[in-house]
Structure 1
Amino acid sequence: MRILVTGGAGFIGSHLTDAFLARGDEVAVLDDLSSGRLTRLDPRVAAHRASVADPGALAAVVARVRPQLICHLAAQIDVRASVADPAGDAQTNVIGTINVLEAARVAGARVLFASTGGALYGKDAVIPSDEDQRPEPEAPYGTAKYCAEQYIGLSNRLHGTTHSVLRLGNVYGPRQDPAGEAGVVAIFCGKAMREERPVIYGDGTQTRDYVYVGDVATAFLAAADSSIAGVWNIGTGVETSILTLADVIGQVTGRSIEPEFGPARPGELRRSALDVARVAGQLGWKAATSLSEGVASTFAWVRDGGPDR
């Protein structure tokens, strides 16, 4: 299969390109390199520097690659940045997705869209949250992702396509940029290695669904091999508190983790976990990496200096 991965030089995208290459697919990457790095990519990957927010440049790359599948991971992912600049967030996450859908329509390609599970369902959601839970995002980032999902559904109704949505939990693992809430595993592993005290914002009882990046890659492969249009949560179904995460990191690394506590971040979601029954039933996918195994892999990567490959 010929595959184009937008945002493919990023943390998740580079793992996904590796997974497709490993099974013999032909992979190209489109990335504006605002946060992605070409050194994360296998030399066999054809890389094109362009933004999904630039419809002309995007269309030119798609015409050159002629993909059968586009995995759309390019995004503005910083929740705090979305609050500071909601229009800029929407330009990338909404208009960029519309541009991808139009380029895919012209090329006759199917789209798999990386959405969010953690920032979508809201503070009053039933835990674990299934895909039928009414989205009530707390920030422009989640709102933009949900809006993009609506355009994907519209494309399926309007053009008879089978584009699909993967709502990701809190993804972690090697190559993760240790900045912001989404990078808490890498941040805490770095603190453990340097024997520094990590900062927990709030009381540490807030929960997330931490899913290992290698498992996310296999979820995309399963969706790529399916012919159905779906919306699937990609997580573990397990609710893990920040305090529990710190304990696991301490056990895995053999380092004493004694966190400092700072004020809770305004608007931070208290609880989040994803119901993964639908993806198990429809795609036969289930996360295979335990939190301790994933933390061990991440810590080994941090200990080795955080190599891109």
Structure 2
Amino acid sequence: MNILVTGGAGFIGSHIVDALVESGCRVAVVDDLSTGKFEHVNPGVNFYKVTVQEPDFKEVVAREKPGAVIHLAAQADVQHSLQEPQADAVINILGMINLLEACRRHNVGKVVYASSAAVYGSPIYLPVDENHPLAPQSPYGVSKLTPEHYLRIYRDLYGIGYTILRYANVYGPRQDATGEGGVVAIFTDKLLKGEKPFIFGDGGQTRDFIYVKDVAAANLAALRRAEGITLNVSTGCGLSVNRLFTMIKKATGSGLEPVYRPPRPGDISHSYLSNEKARGLLGWAPRRSLEEGLSETVEFYKGNS
């Protein structure tokens, strides 16, 4: 099967590409390298330095003729979306429209879309399942939700299949500790450098931390299953930022303590997602414990420090 991965040089995308190549798929990658890194691109793929919102993207689809697209290319920083909401929308919303138009013109059968827990906003119950009300609290949340509606419209009008995967907080090797870097990457990077990391708020806020290779496995399963379905990709468990820090501190062997700062606008206090639907419809479940995932992540950063 021919698969095109947008954002395939990025943290999550590069792991998905590796898994696809290992499974025997023919893979092409589109990435503008604004946050992705070329050294993370699997050498066995065709690579195009293109953004999904530019006209050249349609030429890539025409050339590669993929049977499916896994769409990860995005502006993924909540704080940046608050500062530059228009730029956020251009990439996340207009990029999806351009992608879907390319899929329509060149008979792509399916899109697997990387959405986000940010579409739910502040949970009114936990764990958050796929029927939870959608009330994003940042431009980023809006720009991740809007493409979900376009996917449904293009399926109804043009027969393009889709599966929507709403990710919890993804962590693991290759995550950038700068820019839109997640808290695991930031804590690990700081502690290994002998610097005290910041915790925004009191650290009691909880998140659902899912290992990147488990996310990759969910994407591969979604290529052939869960047609027209929206699924959470998560562990189903919440962990406080304070507890996470303690675990990373132990894994790195650091004796440092964090510096607490005021909460940031747009941050949600508690969030973890039910994964029961993904378990049933994808035949998927997270395989790595948090301890195992953090250990692999810390070893990666030690080898790249």
- TM norm structure 1: 0.95
| 1:171–1:182 contact (8 Å) kept in structure 2 | no
What's 2:12 paired with? Answer: 12
| Larger deviation, residues 248-257 vs 292-301 | 248-257
Question: What residue number does 1:98 align with?
Answer: 97
Residue 247 of structure 1 contacts residue 257 of structure 1 at CA under 8 Å; is this kept in 2? Answer: no
Following the alignment from structure 1 to structure 2, what is the Cα–Cα distance between the partners of residues 160 and 72? 17
Gaps of 5+ in 2: none
Is 1:48 aligned to residue 27 of structure 2?
no
**Deviation digits for residues 94-137 of structure 1, max 9, x if unmatched?**
110011111111222111110101x1111143111011111111
Is residue 22 of structure 1 aligned with residue 22 of structure 2? Answer: yes
Does the aligned pair in 1 maintain the 2:171–2:182 contact within 8 Å?
A: yes
**Residues 75-154 of structure 1 mapped to structure 2, 5 A cutoff:** 75-109=74-108, 110-117=110-117, 119-154=118-153
Distance 1:11 1:125 in 2: 30
- What is the alpha-carbon distance in structure 1 between the residues aligned to residue 231 and residue 285 of structure 2? 12
Deviation at 1:193, TM superposition (A): 1.8
CA contact (8 A) 1:52 1:100 kept: yes
Deviations for 1:144-177, whole angstroms, at most 9, x for unmatched residues? 1111100001111222332111101111111101
Tell whether 2:180 aligns with 1:195: no
Q: What amino acid is aligned across from residue 300 of structure 2 in structure 1? A: W
Q: Does 1:74 align with 2:88?
A: no
Aligned partner of residue 120 in structure 1, secondary structure: helix
CA RMSD of aligned residues (A): 1.3
Q: Work out the CA distance in 2 between the residues paired with 1:203 and 1:37.
A: 34
* 1:1-309 equivalent positions in 2, closer than 5 A: 1-54=1-54, 56-109=55-108, 110-117=110-117, 119-179=118-178, 182-226=181-225, 228-305=227-304
Deviation at 1:42, TM superposition (A): 1.6
Letter in 1 for 2:101: E
Higher mean displacement: 228-237 or 180-189: 180-189
Once superposed, which parts of structure 1, at least 4 consecutive aligned residues long, lie more than 3 Å away?
none
Q: Relative to structure 1, is the Cα distance of residues 124 and 170 closer, same or farther in structure 2, using a 3 angstrom cutoff?
A: closer
Gaps of 5+ in 1: none
Aligned with 1:93: secondary structure? helix
Give deviations 1:53-96, integer Å, cap 9, x for gaps.
Answer: 11x20110000111001001000111111111211111110110
How many residues in Structure 1 have an aligned counterpart in Structure 2? Answer: 304
Residue 70 of structure 2 aligns to a residue whose secondary structure is strand
Contact between 2:164 and 2:230, CA under 8 Å: does it hold in 1? Answer: yes
Q: In the alignment, residue 18 of structure 1 is paired with which amino acid?
A: D
The alpha carbon displacement at 1:254 in A equals: 3.0
Identity, in percent, stands at 44
- Post-superposition offset of 1:182: 4.6
- Structure 1 residues 292 and 181, CA gap change in structure 2 (3 angstroms): farther
In structure 2, the CA distance between the partners of 1:257 and 1:236, relative to structure 1 (3 Å rule), is: farther
Change in Cα spacing, 1:237 to 1:227, as seen in structure 2 (3 Å) is closer
Scaled by the length of structure 2, what TM-score is found?
A: 0.96
* Aligned 8 A contact 1:162 1:227 in 2: no
Deviation at 1:194, TM superposition (A): 2.7
